[in-house]
Amino acid sequence: MIIDRNYSMNDDINDVRLRLLDSGHAKTNEEWIGNIVSPMYARLYYIVGGAPYIMKDGEKMRLEVGKCYLFPTGYSFRHACESSMEQLYFHINLNDFNGTDLLRCAHTVMEYTPQEGVIADMLRYAHSSELIDSLRMRQEIYTSLLTLIDKYGIKLKTTHYSRCVVLAMDYIKSHLNLRLAISDLAANSFVSESTLAKKFKAEVGMTIGSYIDDVILFEAEQLLLKSDLTVLQISERFGFCDQFYFSRRFKMKYGETPQKYRKLRLI
């Protein structure tokens, strides 16, 4: 017997994780507008009805009923409708073993038309409490992602970080606070501050401070949408000197104050 094993494929299958951050069935029968600024997740839309559109660099793009659209991680745009809109939406990360989002490599809106009946099935799954329907929904999301990745020739690549960078990222996520000191990160990573700063910038593509800011504002956004914590409580949790400074920083990132962002419950 000859057995040809592909351990690399095994690792890829086990290490890649689809993370669903938020989802819902959104609809309105009036004019509506929202603003999306450099999100740390991708958005997957299935258009059920109405006449929604997005604005990017002054150009309007209509979203057609019956189509699926993927807005990659980090993609900023405004989206709106003039009279009505109905859609299924999913906020997702497709992470490798380091927690890096594989969809960051895409830079444009992608679209395709699912087979007839798929969106209707997904609507049913979205309102079901059965575990099997949740698994079916996951399968449909994967099918859409793979279809779009193939259609647009997206090359998925895992990221390999130095051990000290991995340790620093893990420490940041478990001690998330604006006042995190690079000296603490370096000590936990068993390297000098200068070595860590240099490797982090070279491998992650941003400074440690910018990375901490991004992760904090992302977690703050999730708390605004998924918890009853006040803006003051959220700002204190992450070490901001006051909620007004937090609000300014949040608006710079997401285009709205925390209060307005929560009220609109942007999708």
Residue range(s) defining the domain that contains residue 22:
7-151
In a domain, 36, yes or no: yes
Give the residue from 143, 10, 170 showing the smallest Cα distance to 70. Answer: 143
Residues 91 and 178 both lie in one domain = no
Domain final position from 96, 118, 151: 151
The string of pLDDT tens digits covering residues 36-52 is 777 889 999 999 999 99
Lowest mean pLDDT among 110-114, 223-227, 252-256: 252-256
pLDDT at 175 over 90: yes
Note the pLDDT of residue 37. Answer: 74
Domain final position from 104, 124, 151: 151
3-class DSSP assignment, residue 249: helix
* Tally of structural domains, the chain: 2
pTM for the model stands at 0.83
Give the residue from 102, 92, 93 showing the smallest Cα distance to 12. Answer: 102
In a domain, 157, yes or no: no
Helix, strand, coil distribution of the chain in percent, nearest 5: 45, 25, 30
The string of pLDDT tens digits covering residues 79-105 is 899 899 999 999 999 998 888 889 988
Cβ-based neighbours of 82, under 8 Å, separated by 6 or more: 31, 51
- β-partners of residue 47 are 87
Residues 86 and 140 both lie in one domain = yes
Element (H, E) at 247: helix 243-254
What mean pLDDT comes out for the span 196-208? 94
Residues 109 and 13 both lie in one domain = yes
In a domain, 68, yes or no: yes
Note the pLDDT of residue 8. Answer: 77
Distance separating alpha carbons of residues 82 and 135, to the nearest angstrom: 35
Domain final position from 103, 125, 151: 151
Residues 56 and 81 both lie in one domain = yes
Residues 120 and 176 both lie in one domain = no
In a domain, 1, yes or no: no
Q: What is the rounded average pLDDT for all residues in the chain?
A: 91
Give the residue from 231, 226, 223, 267 showing the smallest Cα distance to 249. Answer: 231
Distance separating alpha carbons of residues 261 and 221, to the nearest angstrom: 9
3-class DSSP assignment, residue 27: strand
In a domain, 156, yes or no: no
Residues 105 and 206 both lie in one domain = no
The string of pLDDT tens digits covering residues 142-160 is 999 999 999 999 998 888 8
CATH number, domain with residue 67: 2.60.120.10
Give the residue from 104, 95, 113 showing the smallest Cα distance to 75. Answer: 104
Note the pLDDT of residue 265. Answer: 62
| Cα dihedral across residues 236, 240, 243, 246: positive or negative | negative
Environment class of 46 (CB within 10 Å of its CB; exposed 0-12, middle 13-18, buried 19+): buried
CATH number, domain with residue 251: 1.10.10.60
- 266 pLDDT tier (thresholds 50, 70, 90): very low
